[in-house]
Amino acid sequence: MFLGEYRTKFTGKGRVVLPHKFRQELKGKEVILSRGFEECIWGFDVKDFEEEARKQLEISATEERARYMRRYLFSSSESVELDAQGRIIIPSALLDFASVKEEIAIVGAGDHFEIWDAKHWKKHMKKVEVKLGRIS
């Protein structure tokens, strides 16, 4: 399970080191990256992505919402490989989508992790805390 929140910066053009604890959760060297919601990038272990894909494919393509979700998820998904130093290269289309700049927040979300622009993550968490009634 992907847990925790980590701050980091790029080590090169679109290249970032995944936290060690997250690398331990991966069953191999391959990671599937995709558009998430609220302008973040989702990262999945291949098996977990296949499970999510199966859920989406169980809904009939005759349903409009199912078609939209499939297009949203699958059109942006890309396989990337961890290198020997535990780094991945995030495709530029995903970086643009999530407006990820220099400082990055990589956060656990249970069955997947999320990559956020650190400033955007901070703002988002403030909204979450208000919605949960933690702050006003």
Domain boundaries in the chain? Answer: 5-131
Segments of the chain with pLDDT less than 70: 135-136
Candidate CATH numbers 3.40.50.170, 3.90.1330.10, 3.40.1550.20, 3.40.30.10; the one for domain 5-131: 3.40.1550.20
Number of residues assigned to the chain = 136
Q: CA 34, 11, 88: angle at the middle one, nearest 5?
A: 35
C-beta separation of 27 from 126 below 8 A: no
pLDDT at 12: 86
Per residue in 92-109, pLDDT (tens digit) is 999 999 999 889 999 999
Q: What distance in Å separates the CA atoms of residue 53 and residue 73, rounded to the nearest whole number?
A: 8
Q: Which amino acid is at 40?
A: C
pLDDT at 135: 67
Per residue in 9-28, pLDDT (tens digit) is 999 889 999 999 999 999 99
